[in-house]
Amino acid sequence: MPASLQEVKRRITSTKKTGQITTAMQMVSTAKLNQIQKHTASYQVYAAKIRNVITHLAASHLLDDVEAPETVEKGKVNSLSMLDKRPVKKTGLVVITSDRGLVGSYNSNVIKQTLSLITKNNHSKEDVEIIAIGGTGADFFKKRGYDILYEYRELDDVPTFREVRPIVRAILKMFEAEKFDELFVCYNHFVNSLTSSFRGEQMLPIAAENLGSDQLDATDDSGYNYEYDTEPSEDAILEVILPQYAESLLYGAMLDAKTSEHASSSTAMRSASDNADDIIAKLELQYNRARQSAITTEITEITGAQAALE
């Protein structure tokens, strides 16, 4: 077999093996996507309830004029500090990316839009503190000189609520210690299996304007005012509800981001498999033409030699 035919045959074989790998990876990503979508659907009910409670509390002005205690028991986070509004000297950004590649434009879109958010707010590197969830984002911002306050790698394919709690606790301690004065969560929101959109949601401090409650009056459709009787006290209730809200917001963002990651990976691997099939078809056509040409040449040479002998 001529060297050119051997080379084409080797390329066909290697491309088929690559196609088998990408097809297997697509199946795995699709399975993970289906799994996390089932988990997310049930969690969204809880997250919506928590958000509604906080929104109504803000609309009824229960969050106004709440002061954090000066002393807190050692080892515990002062939850009421989440309401602390202060002049913004530093902005914290929770950037959620993946730990691996082969996820299409997922990581590049999050990073690009996060940089756009930094530019839009007229921030310099010195004004920003990065909290990186995922190795890709952590490595990117490290290489470009940003300060990484906290990083978390190897997030589960279907994150658990238990996994989020220590992250939220660390973030709240940093906010209380005034490492940053406001905090945004930046991630890709899952729209459908082919589409995702960037979101940059403010997480801290918790305020009515950040909850969208400016469009919610302190009255319901029937005209009644929202009023709350609290037991044992407003502060005690908020000490419980505010951490739950922070946990639900960050956990929801992680679930949403992971769903988008699996969808992007599935789409990228399906595209790679389709491209492999196209390349194989072209190579096989090239191989068959070259082989036919070689056979024709051999027949011509044999016929010519036979004619010469006669």
196 φ, ψ to 5°? Answer: -140, 160
Q: 29 lies in a domain?
A: no
**Reported pTM:** 0.80
Output the pLDDT for position 227. Answer: 64
Q: Contact 167/203 with Cβ under 8 angstroms? A: no
Q: 31 lies in a domain?
A: no
Answer yes or no: is pLDDT of 214 > 50. no
Q: Are residues 88 and 103 in the same domain?
A: yes
Q: Contact 239/41 with Cβ under 8 angstroms? A: no
Helix (H, G, I), strand (E, B) or coil at 108: helix
What token pair was written down for 93? 């950004």
CATH number of the domain that residue 15 is part of: 1.10.287.80
What is the DSSP annotation of 33-99? HHHHHHHHHHHHHHHHHHHHHHHHHHHTTTTTT----S---TT---GGGGG-----S-EEEEEE--S
Q: Are residues 85 and 106 in the same domain?
A: yes
CATH number of the domain that residue 197 is part of: 3.40.1380.10
Note the pLDDT tens digit of each residue in 188-198.
Answer: 988 888 888 89
Q: Are residues 140 and 247 in the same domain?
A: yes
Q: Find the mean pLDDT for residues 100-105.
A: 86
Show Cβ contacts of residue 217 under 8 Å, excluding neighbours closer than 6 positions: 59
- Number of folded domains that form the chain: 2
Q: 143 lies in a domain?
A: yes
Q: Are residues 185 and 198 in the same domain?
A: yes
Q: Are residues 284 and 265 in the same domain?
A: no
Q: 27 lies in a domain?
A: no
Rounded Cα distance between 153 and 161, Å, is 16
Output the pLDDT for position 24. Answer: 92
Least confident of 37-41, 138-142, 188-192: 37-41
Q: Are residues 14 and 51 in the same domain?
A: no
Count of residues making up the chain: 310
Q: 155 lies in a domain?
A: yes
Look-up: residue for tokens 């958010």? 117
Q: Are residues 303 and 173 in the same domain?
A: no
Q: 30 lies in a domain?
A: no
Q: Are residues 260 and 287 in the same domain?
A: no
Q: How confident is the model at residue 27 (pLDDT cuts 50, 70, 90)?
A: very high
Crossing angle for the helix pair 135-143 and 106-120, nearest 10 degrees?
50
Q: Are residues 278 and 242 in the same domain?
A: no
Q: Are residues 100 and 239 in the same domain?
A: yes
Give the CA count within 13 Å in the CB-facing half-sphere of 282.
8
Q: How confident is the model at residue 98 (pLDDT cuts 50, 70, 90)?
A: very high
Q: How confident is the model at residue 217 (pLDDT cuts 50, 70, 90)?
A: very low
Answer yes or no: is pLDDT of 114 > 60. yes
Q: Are residues 262 and 168 in the same domain?
A: yes
Please give the residue range of the domain that contains residue 241.
Answer: 36-269
DSSP symbol at 125: G
Q: Are residues 61 and 145 in the same domain?
A: yes
